[in-house]
Amino acid sequence: MRWALEFARRAQRTTSAGELGELLYDATVDMGFDYYALIRCDTGQLTDEYDIHLFNFPRPWTDEIHRRNYFKIDPVRAAARERRTPFRTHEVGGIPSLTPDQQEMMAASGGAGLSDGFATPIAIADEAVGLCSFGLGSHRDFPRDVLGEAEIIGGFAFEAARRLKAHNTHMYLSTAGKHQKGNGFWRGLRGLQPDELK
């Protein structure tokens, strides 16, 4: 996992939400996902008051989230508060305790082009639960072979976001609709030999 440690090293050097978002986006695409979301809510409740919120969801879905106030009912965030291990986001739709509004949101996300994803809950003592998730468009196959890597990257990205936030850095970044070929950062790291990771 030396390449993952290299990602951590580069994430630790970021000085803004923009830099961290670009780094995370490149890893997202090169892993075979389309979208990412990195969030933490100060209150620990399902509200729309995030203190860390980086994402690149499709713009129509982002608009729908705001229009319908889906922040407060997000079933993936609700599942993250109850779990301590990563999960595929499509599994959330089968949770019996989902409210009708949450079921509606799951259906709406599919209609907006998000078919599945992989979410890692991040719990730190005396802090609200955080979440890093990677999402897929409807045209993608689920990249099962990178789930361990996705969990590690999500954790390192979240730690970098916490560091930036502790220095009063504005940690809201929306690159909604950005979807292009990655720059090969992730694949490049995986191909490096240990003595090349400096």
Helix, strand, coil percentages in the chain from 3-state DSSP, rounded to 5: 50, 20, 35
DSSP 88: E
Task: Quote the pLDDT of residue 21.
Answer: 92
Does residue 193 lie in a domain region? no
161: nearest Cα among 36, 3, 30: 36
Query: Has residue 81 been placed in a domain?
Result: yes
Q: For the segment 27-84, what is each residue's pLDDT rounded down to a tens digit?
A: 898 889 999 999 886 554 544 455 788 889 888 888 888 888 888 888 998 888 888 8
Q: Find the DSSP H helices in 32-127.
A: 59-68, 75-82, 100-111
**pLDDT of the residue at 49:** 53
- What is the count of structural domains for the chain? 1
3-state secondary structure of 165: helix
CATH of the domain at 100: 3.30.450.80
Q: In the sheet that 130-137 helps form, which strands lie side by side, from edge to edge?
A: 87-88, 114-122, 130-137, 35-41, 50-55, 172-174
Q: Is residue 196 included in any domain, yes or no?
A: no
* pTM as predicted: 0.83
Rg over CA atoms, the chain:
16
- Domain of 175 in residue numbering reads as 2-184
- For residue 138, being part of any structural domain is answered with yes
Identify which has the larger pLDDT, 194 or 123. 123
Any domain includes 197: no
Task: Report pLDDT digits (tens) over 141-193.
Answer: 899 999 999 999 999 999 999 998 888 777 777 765 554 444 444 444 444 44
Q: What pLDDT score does 3 carry?
A: 62
pLDDT attached to residue 196:
42
Query: What's the pLDDT at 186?
Result: 47
Q: Answer whether residue 12 is part of any domain.
A: yes
